[in-house]
Amino acid sequence: MPTPSSQDSFLDTNLAAAFPILQQKIYQKSLIYLDNAATTQKPIQVIQALQQYYEQYNANIHRAAHTLSSIATRNVEDTRAMIQQWINAATTEEIIFTQGTTAAINLVAQTYAKQQLNAGDEILISLLEHHANIVPWQMLAQEKGVVLKVIPVKTDGTLDMDAFDQLLTAKTKMVALVHISSTLGIINPIEQIIQKAHARHAVVLIDGAQSIAHMPIDVQQWDVDFFVFSAHKAYGPTGLGILYGKKQYLEMMPPYQGGGGMVAHVTTHQSKYQPLPYKLEAGTPPIASICAFQEAIRFIQTIGYTKIQKIEHALLVYAQELLQKIPAITLYGTTDVKKKIGIIALNVQGMHHLDVGLLLDARGIAVRTGLLCTQPLIDYWQVDGMVRISLAVYNTFQDIAITVQALKNIIQKHGT
Ligand SMILES: Cc1ncc(COP(=O)(O)O)c(C=O)c1O
């Protein structure tokens, strides 16, 4: 088992040093931030890029003849090209800027699915989904009479693939599935799922909100139809999401919202739309966030996914082994750690999850508690919430050791 000192072999630099927010104290204790699945912290270069936009080239894009607007426009399009290469999309037209993962899923539900699916057609989701990949499909089901089916999970938290095989039929027109569970950290076998879905002519949307910061994404190799994620969960700014869609499907989608930027010609009664990607990007986008996201991508690429996975896996193994030794702690989704990223869901016997979270906060440790935006999954375990520890690449063995010790102290003082 790795020890705190063996971190040095993974890290030649102290990654946390690049994150100003991590240098502060909470209740006189050094902040240990373990709520990364909700949002990651931002390295100094992302913060500086935001400031640079507002100080040096704040302007709206696409619409002006002046220099600042050209710089902003070029930077926005540079980010689009960077994302295209990063996730290996075929063209920049396939990269749509949205407000986040939630907005991207709603966009697909309200345009592609609303137009292409009919009453009686089926959409497959799973019990692992974040509310963002449940509610938009429920809304569509109510509106259009399409039927929502749910792939169950097994007791170790993994998807029940036999059930998936049975649920996937000729009626399935869409499979909308989370890549990595935000509550359990379990990585779904999406390549296998995409292949099987395509064999049935179903279109696949993968929610990559929890994968983008932790593992390489290759949308062409996977042959995925839609892939969505949020910048803020990958060291980038808030208010920005990405919808990747195969051009053939994006072309089929009517505009979601109308307004400036997405039109080529407007009369009072009719409009001609811009080609992709602009057709699906009405109004002023989050320009500062888009420009600064380049620095977040560079941060990830400079470390490299191989090293990110090595660090986070070692931290996960260390944390899980320590936590498993504490009898008062129940862990959920304890499948093979090789199939997981650094997310651990737990409860402390006899204690409310919120109390555990507040007592950790009093020790400077930030975790998430409650339904974790995955209520159907929490209900499956018949509890009213969980405590979630979620790791990022800047976390350390020391963070884990201090947190586990804090949990032990809390249990000793407040547990049953
Ligand atoms: C798996 C998953 N999907 C979707 C979302 C929603 O992301 P956002 O709030 O950035 O739209 C989250 C956020 O926690 C998530 O973890």
Model pLDDT for residues 197-243, shown as the tens digit of each residue: 999 999 999 999 999 999 999 999 999 999 999 999 999 999 999 99
pLDDT in tens, 246-275: 999 999 999 999 998 899 999 999 999 999
pLDDT of residue 1: 47
What separation in Å is there between the alpha carbon of 194 and the centre of ligand 1?
A: 21
Question: In this structure, what are the phi and psi dihedrals at residue 396, rounded to the nearest 5 degrees?
Answer: -130, 165
CATH label, 47-301, candidates 3.60.15.10, 3.30.750.200, 1.20.58.220, 3.40.640.10:
3.40.640.10
Q: Is 291 a catalytic residue?
A: no
The whole-number pLDDT of residue 415 equals 80
φ/ψ of residue 364, rounded to 5 = 85, 15
Per-residue pLDDT at 169:
98
Examine the pLDDT at 95 and tell me if it is beyond 60: yes
Q: Within a 10 A sphere around the Cβ of 263, how many other Cβ atoms?
A: 16
Is residue 119 classed exposed, middle or buried when 0-12, 13-18 and 19+ CB atoms within 10 A define those classes? exposed
CA nearest ligand 1 atom 15, residue: 209
The answer to whether 277 and 249 are in contact (CB under 8 A) is no
Tell me, in angstroms, the distance from the centre of ligand 1 to residue 70's CA.
32
C-alpha 100 to ligand 1 mean position (Å) = 8
CB half-sphere exposure, 379, CA atoms < 13 A: 7
From 83, 44, 376, select the one nearest 227 (Cα to Cα).
83
Residue in 36, 98, 131, 373 to alter for ligand 1 test, most ligand atoms within 8 A of Cβ: 373
User: Taking 90 as the threshold, does the pLDDT of residue 3 lie above it?
Assistant: no
Domain boundary assignment for the chain = 4-39+304-414, 47-301
pLDDT reported for residue 23: 96
Instruction: Say whether 47-301 and 4-39+304-414 share the same fold.
Output: no
Instruction: Using the mean position of ligand 1's atoms as its centre, give its distance from the Cα of residue 190 in Å.
Output: 18
Arithmetic mean of pLDDT, 322-336: 94
Q: Which residue puts its alpha carbon closest to atom 12 of ligand 1?
A: 209
The residue to mutate among 233, 289, 374, 375, having the most atoms of ligand 1 within 8 angstroms of its beta carbon, is: 233
| 5 has a pLDDT exceeding 70 | no
With b meaning 16 or more CB within 10 Å and e meaning fewer, what string describes 154-191? eeebbbbeebbeebbeebbbbbbbbbbbbbbbbbbebe
Contacting residues for 286 by C-beta, under 8 A, at least 6 apart = 97, 99, 237, 239, 240
Structure tokens at 215: 């593992």
On the CB side of 334, CA atoms within 13 Å amount to 11
Per-residue confidence band for 12, with pLDDT thresholds at 50, 70 and 90: low
Nearest residue (by CA) to ligand 1, atom 16, is 182
Question: What radius of gyration do the chain's Cα atoms show?
Answer: 22
Q: How far apart are CA 36 and CA 395, in angstroms?
A: 10
| Fold type of domain 4-39+304-414 | Aspartate Aminotransferase, domain 1 (3.90.1150)
pLDDT of residue 334: 85
Ligand 1 pocket mutation, candidates 230, 238, 390, criterion most atoms within 8 A of CB: 230
Count CA within 13 A, CB hemisphere, residue 304.
Answer: 5
Q: Whose CA is nearest to atom 13 of ligand 1?
A: 38
Task: Provide the pLDDT for residue 13.
Answer: 63
Six-digit token pair at 140? 């569509």
DSSP string, 188-199: P-HHHHHHHHHH
Choosing from 95, 217, 373, 387, the catalytic residue is: 373
Three-class DSSP category at 126: strand
Would you place residue 416 in the very low, low, confident or very high pLDDT band (cuts 50, 70, 90)? Answer: confident
| 133 C-alpha to ligand 1 centroid (Å) | 8
Sheet holding 386-390, edge to edge: 329-332, 343-348, 386-390, 368-370
- Contact between residue 167 and residue 200 where contact means Cβ atoms under 8 Å apart: no
Residue 193, pLDDT > 50, answer yes
pLDDT at 333 over 50: yes
Span from the CA of 138 to the centroid of ligand 1 (angstroms): 17
Ligand 1, closest atom to CA 232? 10
Residues with CB under 6 A from ligand 1: 37-38, 100-102, 130, 132-133, 178, 182, 207, 209-210, 230, 241, 373
Structural contact between residues 148 and 125, judged by C-beta atoms closer than 8 angstroms:
yes
Handedness of CA 39, 44, 45, 51 (dihedral sign): positive
CA–CA distance, 404 with 410 (Å, rounded to integer):
10
Cα separation, 303 vs 91, whole angstroms: 25
pTM to 2 decimals? 0.96
